[in-house]
């Protein structure tokens, strides 16, 4: 039966943009995005949306109040829905049994959502779609919870439909997905969900698999993407030692069609809400099935990421004559990547945390991250901070040592060093002569994203350090611009 009414539980980075695109492409379907967080729903219904995502605002403003609604009434929306997306957060466990903390995903929000659906769903068949990233066989647990309500005349089909969008390009990814993956056991249910996507996605891009393959594919996809970054970051350290240039290496290896050019940007390490958590989930799964070598293999992707972050921090301190105590350091960018205000697992948190721990005064500028978010991130202990060998920020130091700036020039004025942590486009067009003139000398610049023209900066007078290219190596043959253009 064609779906006419959709409810999405979870109005976050996935639920909001996904439903906005479905509403825009399927005007005959009523889409209600629900969340237990009233402040978030209020923002979705206001002029300033809770998340920044290019193209999102235009879509929401076009569909909101027509066939797209945002509400805190989860039960009410569930009662009316033919299809329900579970799009709640599945963070890594921070409490619980040893062996689970820091590894296994916390499924309490998925369970709560499933229990609400079990109690409130309308009579007849409801499709329940796992959009959240979950461990393999989570669909079986959800099915069990739905069945346990034991309501006569009420039935469910559970499908897995993981989301592959990246933040910053979510709308583009949703409009033109590489593939839509639907895992399930019931062909009619799979077809009903596929028909929704077929309104704008070519049929050959809608892939049907078993539920378990679908769930596992999401974790493996994220692990393989993160593995490319850890691999190029591992190569970057070797480049710095040998006089090779990682941008040239990335270009040379990426031109091999078997390897491909994307996702070979060296960086201060990957961040974001997904990679760390999903790889830990994979590690947990391997441990659960007593596959220690397998667990160690995936764990090494994370270990390399931590190493890359920490060695970048150490390089800052050692370059600044082995101390940053009472020195002013400008941090450009706090989001985990450009074109998003999201800071979850951002490498900037690790860098700022490390510098504060070493006694620096840190002046942070980011075009989209709210001030309070920066302070919250630096004050709250996080899993990453705990596992990182970086210095843990002592209580109270953040208020004293962290300053949030309105623009990058402000942040850099009087600073000993500028550290580029996020690859925001606007950082490539700043007037670095003006910045240099306003800084302490010698003025250091650390390009953690390889987005700047290092030759130009050095001509201005900066002492430049970057990733994967030693600008002062005795074997250096080519100091050409480092920007590699690989995204």
Could you tell me if 223 and 282 are in contact, meaning their C-beta atoms sit under 8 angstroms apart?
yes
Residue 112, classified by CB atoms within 10 Å of its CB into exposed (0-12), middle (13-18) or buried (19+), is middle
Interface with ligand NAD: number of residues (CB under 6 A): 27
Closest distance of CB 9 from ligand UDX, Å? 19
Which residue's entry shows tokens 């028909």? 195
Q: Which of residues 153-192 bind ligand UDX (CB under 6 A)?
A: 163-167
Q: Write the secondary structure of 414-429 as one string of H (helix), E (strand) and C (coil).
A: CCCEEEECCCCHHHHC
Angstrom CA distances, 271 to 200, 230, 300, 447, 472, stand at: 31, 12, 16, 17, 29
Residue 277 is labelled as binding a ligand: yes
Is the N-terminal amide bond of 375 cis, ω within 30° of 0?
no
Residue 271 is a binding residue for ligand UDX (CB under 6 A)? yes
CB-nearer residue toward ligand UDX: 167 or 215: 167
Could you tell me if 438 and 413 are in contact, meaning their C-beta atoms sit under 8 angstroms apart?
yes
Q: Which of residues 111-140 bind ligand NAD (CB under 6 A)?
A: 112-113, 132-133
CB-nearer residue toward ligand UDX: 272 or 408: 272
Residue 87 is a binding residue for ligand UDX (CB under 6 A)? no
User: Cα-flanking dihedrals φ and ψ of residue 90, to 5°?
Assistant: -130, 65
Closest distance of CB 91 from ligand NAD, Å? 8
Q: At what angle do helices 138-148 and 108-120 cross, to 10 degrees?
A: 40
| CB atoms inside a 10 Å sphere around CB 441 | 10
Radius of gyration from C-alpha coordinates of the chain: 24
CB-nearer residue toward ligand UDX: 170 or 360: 170
Q: From ligand UDX, ligand NAD, none, which one binds at residue 37 (CB under 5 to 8 Å depending on kind)? A: ligand NAD
Q: From ligand UDX, ligand NAD, none, which one binds at residue 15 (CB under 5 to 8 Å depending on kind)? A: ligand NAD
CB-nearer residue toward ligand NAD: 135 or 367: 135
Helix (H) or strand (E) holding 363: strand 361-365
Q: From ligand UDX, ligand NAD, none, which one binds at residue 10 (CB under 5 to 8 Å depending on kind)? A: ligand NAD
Q: Which residue in the shown chain puts its C-beta closest to ligand UDX?
A: 272
Q: From ligand UDX, ligand NAD, none, which one binds at residue 9 (CB under 5 to 8 Å depending on kind)? A: ligand NAD
Closest distance of CB 210 from ligand UDX, Å? 20
DSSP 375: H
Q: Which of residues 315-354 bind ligand UDX (CB under 6 A)?
A: 336-337
Query: For the window 197-226, what string marks contact with ligand UDX as x by the rule CB under 6 A?
Result: -------------------------x--x-
Q: Using the rule CB under 6 A, which residue among 267, 306, 343, 393 binds ligand UDX? A: 267
Closest distance of CB 316 from ligand NAD, Å? 29
CB-nearer residue toward ligand NAD: 88 or 445: 88
Dist. CA 270–CA 272, nearest whole Å = 7
Which listed residue (274, 286, 421, 466) is catalytic? Answer: 274
Dist. CA 402–CA 435, nearest whole Å = 20
Residue 89 is a binding residue for ligand NAD (CB under 6 A)? yes
Q: Which of residues 306-325 bind ligand NAD (CB under 6 A)?
A: none
Could you tell me if 69 and 33 are in contact, meaning their C-beta atoms sit under 8 angstroms apart?
yes
Residue 11 is labelled as binding a ligand: yes
Q: Which of residues 59-88 bind ligand NAD (CB under 6 A)?
A: 74, 87-88
DSSP 484: -
Q: Using the rule CB under 6 A, which residue among 272, 333, 341, 468 binds ligand UDX? A: 272
Token readout for 312 is 């970048």
Q: Using the rule CB under 6 A, which residue among 3, 6, 8, 9 binds ligand NAD? A: 9
Which residue's entry shows tokens 């709250």? 380
User: Is 274 annotated in the active site?
Assistant: yes
Q: Which residues pair with residue 417 across a beta bridge?
A: 329, 444
Sign of CA dihedral 260, 262, 268, 273: negative
Dist. CA 461–CA 157, nearest whole Å = 65
Could you tell me if 87 and 174 are in contact, meaning their C-beta atoms sit under 8 angstroms apart?
no
C-alpha torsion 326→331→336→338, nearest 10: 180
| CB atoms inside a 10 Å sphere around CB 277 | 25
Q: Contact residues for ligand UDX (CB under 6 A)?
A: 163-167, 222, 225, 229, 263-265, 267, 270-272, 274-275, 336-337
Q: Contact residues for ligand NAD (CB under 6 A)?
A: 9-15, 34-37, 40, 74, 87-90, 109, 112-113, 132-133, 163, 165, 167, 273-274
Binding positions for NAD(+) are 10-15, 35, 40, 88-92, 132-133, 167, 274-277, 344
Question: Which residues are designated catalytic?
Answer: 274
Binding positions are 10-15, 35, 40, 88-92, 132-133, 167, 274-277, 344
């Amino acid at each position: 039966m064609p779906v006419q009414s959709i409810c999405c539980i979870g109005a976050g980075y996935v639920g909001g943009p996904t439903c906005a695109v479905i509403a825009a492409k399927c005007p005959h379907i009523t889409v209600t995005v629900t969340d237990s967080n009233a402040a978030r729903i209020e923002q979705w219904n206001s002029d300033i949306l809770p998340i920044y995502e290019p193209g999102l605002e235009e879509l929401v403003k076009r569909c909101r109040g027509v066939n797209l609604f945002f509400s805190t009434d989860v039960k009410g929306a569930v009662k009316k829905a033919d299809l329900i997306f579970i799009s709640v957060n599945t963070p890594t466990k921070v409490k619980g049994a040893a062996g689970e903390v820091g590894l296994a995903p916390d499924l309490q929000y998925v369970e709560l959502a499933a229990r609400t659906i079990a109690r409130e769903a309308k009579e007849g068949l409801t499709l329940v779609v796992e959009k959240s990233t979950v461990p393999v066989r989570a669909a079986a647990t959800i099915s069990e919870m739905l069945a346990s309500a034991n309501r006569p005349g009420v039935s469910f089909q559970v499908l897995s439909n993981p989301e592959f969008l990246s933040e910053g390009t979510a709308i583009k990814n949703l409009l033109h997905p590489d593939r839509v993956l639907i895992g399930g056991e019931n062909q009619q249910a799979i077809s009903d969900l596929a028909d929704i996507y077929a309104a704008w996605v070519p049929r050959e891009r809608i892939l049907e698999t078993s539920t378990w393959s679908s769930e596992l594919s999401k974790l493996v996809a994220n692990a393989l993407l993160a593995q490319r970054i850890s691999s190029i970051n591992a190569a970057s350290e070797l480049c710095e030692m040998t006089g090779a240039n990682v941008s040239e290496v990335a270009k040379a290896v990426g031109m091999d069609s078997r390897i491909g050019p994307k996702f070979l940007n060296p960086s201060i390490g990957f961040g974001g809400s997904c990679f760390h958590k999903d790889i830990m989930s994979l590690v947990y799964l391997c441990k659960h099935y007593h596959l220690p070598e397998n667990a160690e293999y995936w764990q090494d992707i994370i270990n390399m990421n931590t190493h890359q972050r920490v060695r970048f921090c150490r390089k800052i301190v050692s370059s600044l004559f082995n101390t940053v105590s009472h020195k002013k350091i400008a941090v450009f960018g706090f989001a985990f990547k450009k074109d998003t205000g999201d800071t979850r697992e951002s490498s900037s948190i690790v860098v700022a945390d490390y510098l504060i721990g070493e006694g620096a005064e840190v002046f942070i500028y980011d075009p989209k991250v709210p001030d309070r978010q920066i302070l919250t991130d630096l004050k709250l202990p996080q899993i990453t901070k705990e596992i990182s060998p970086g210095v843990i920020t002592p209580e109270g130091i953040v208020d004293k040592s962290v300053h949030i700036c309105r623009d990058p020039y402000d942040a850099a004025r009087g600073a000993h060093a500028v550290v580029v942590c996020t690859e925001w486009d606007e950082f490539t067009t700043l007037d670095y002569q003006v910045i240099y003139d306003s800084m302490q000398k010698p003025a250091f610049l650390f390009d953690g994203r390889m987005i700047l023209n290092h030759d130009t900066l050095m001509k201005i007078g900066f002492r430049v350090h970057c990733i994967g290219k030693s600008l002062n190596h005795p074997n250096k043959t080519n100091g050409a611009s480092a920007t590699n253009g690989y995204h």
